[in-house]
């Protein structure tokens, strides 16, 4: 009897050791652990949502933590090591790290359902010249504001209404008739009563913002490596190599 108890105890110890080794191997290969991603794009639809869904499917044991913010905040947290990787539009260089081109997203106008511009299948920038444009103060708001002032050089600054609220509240304001709102196509998965979406076009087609991944070369988090490998697989850098920032 004592011999059987010894064998059972030894078996449990071996199982515990094997489980510990398996966990260590998973962690070292980026199959478990924690990954902190900084974003400023919407997860409602589009490439970012699809990318995160695929990563979770492949690595369900990785604890993904999301941080929202604009360029300056996310770049600062990337430099300090608070986040592992930032996914945002290609606006500023990553001076101390590396970058990978990802996808592009179309610029969309959210309109009140009864707005006269809603009768058009798509919009041109001059058609927005007399509209009050609602933009968030954070996240992608500042870059969309730069885009508006670039495309409409005579656009009066007082027509831009900066709001310190999230997208759902801004869409509520659009529905109530306070103005129109610029979003990226990834946000159009969030349907809101009384709001319709229309693409904004330049002379040569839809206006787009390009997205990139930013990270620090010295970051040794194994989950970052597994995430980057998946990004390179889904969005190969056709220039031949990731550019150093």
Domain 105-208 has CATH 3.10.129.10: no
- pLDDT for the residue 191: 77
Residue 68: is it exposed, middle or buried by C-beta count within 10 angstroms (0-12/13-18/19+)? middle
Is domain 2-103+211-234 given the CATH code 3.30.70.20 in the classification? no
Question: Which residues, including other chains, have CB under 8 Å from residue 125's CB and lie 6 or more apart?
Answer: 151, 152, 200, 202, 207
- In whole angstroms, what is the distance from residue 199 CA to residue 173 CA? 19
Mean pLDDT across the stretch 173-197? Answer: 88
Q: What is the enclosing helix (H) or strand (E) of 9?
A: helix 2-28
Using one digit for the tens of pLDDT, what is the confidence trace for 123-152? 999 999 889 999 888 777 888 888 888 888
Given this model, what pLDDT does residue 159 score? 81
pLDDT of residue 4: 63
Residues 6+ apart with CB under 8 A from 229: none
The Cα 119–Cα 148 span in angstroms is 22
Q: Distance between CA atoms of 78 and 195, rounded to whole angstroms?
A: 36
Q: Does pLDDT of 68 surpass 90?
A: no
Query: What band does 29 get if pLDDT is binned at 50, 70 and 90?
Result: very low
Where residue 30 falls among pLDDT bands split at 50, 70, 90? Answer: very low
CA distance 132 to 177: 10
At residue 21, the pLDDT reads: 52
| Residue ranges of domains in the chain | 2-103+211-234, 105-208
Could you report the per-residue pLDDT of 191-222, keeping only the tens digit for each?
A: 788 999 999 999 889 999 888 999 998 999 99
Percent above pLDDT 90 for the chain = 43
- The proportion of the chain whose per-residue pLDDT surpasses 70, expressed as a percent, equals 78
pLDDT at 102 over 80: yes
Structure tokens at 194: 């009384």
User: How far apart, in whole angstroms, are the C-alpha atoms of residue 185 and residue 27?
Assistant: 35
Q: What is the DSSP string of 216-244?
A: -TT---HHHHHHHHHHHHHS--TTSSPPB
What average pLDDT does this structure show over 165-169? Answer: 82
pLDDT at residue 143, rounded to an integer: 83
Reported as a single tens digit per residue, the pLDDT across 38-57 is 987 666 557 888 899 999 99
| pLDDT at residue number 165 | 82
pLDDT, mean of residues 68-78: 86
DSSP 30: T
Q: How far apart are CA 27 and CA 35, in angstroms?
A: 11
Give pTM, 2 decimals.
0.74
Exposure of 241 by Cβ count < 10 A (0-12 exposed, 13-18 middle, 19+ buried)?
Answer: exposed
């Amino acid at each position: 009897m004592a011999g059987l108890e010894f064998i059972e105890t030894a078996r449990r110890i071996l199982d515990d050791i094997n489980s510990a080794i398996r966990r260590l191997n998973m962690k070292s290969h980026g199959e478990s652990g924690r990954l902190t991603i900084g974003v400023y794009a919407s997860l409602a639809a589009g490439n970012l949502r699809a990318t995160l869904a695929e990563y979770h499917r492949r690595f369900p044991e990785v604890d993904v933590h999301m941080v929202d913010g604009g360029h300056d905040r996310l770049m600062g947290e990337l430099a300090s090591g608070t986040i592992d990787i930032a996914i945002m539009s290609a606006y500023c260089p990553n001076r101390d790290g590396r970058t990978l081109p990802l996808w592009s997203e179309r610029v969309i106008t959210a309109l009140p359902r009864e707005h006269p511009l809603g009768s058009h299948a798509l919009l041109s920038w001059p058609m927005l010249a007399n509209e009050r444009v609602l933009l968030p103060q954070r996240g992608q708001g500042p870059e969309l504001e730069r885009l508006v002032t670039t495309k409409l050089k005579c656009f009066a600054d007082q027509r831009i209404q900066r709001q310190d609220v999230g997208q759902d509240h801004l869409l509520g304001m659009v529905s109530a008739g306070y103005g129109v709102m610029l979003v990226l196509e990834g946000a159009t998965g969030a349907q809101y009563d009384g709001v319709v979406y229309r693409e904004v076009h330049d002379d040569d087609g839809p206006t787009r913002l390009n997205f990139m991944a930013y990270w620090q070369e010295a970051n040794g988090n194994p989950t970052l490596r597994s995430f980057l490998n998946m990004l390179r697989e889904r969005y190969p850098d056709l220039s031949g190599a990731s550019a150093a920032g």
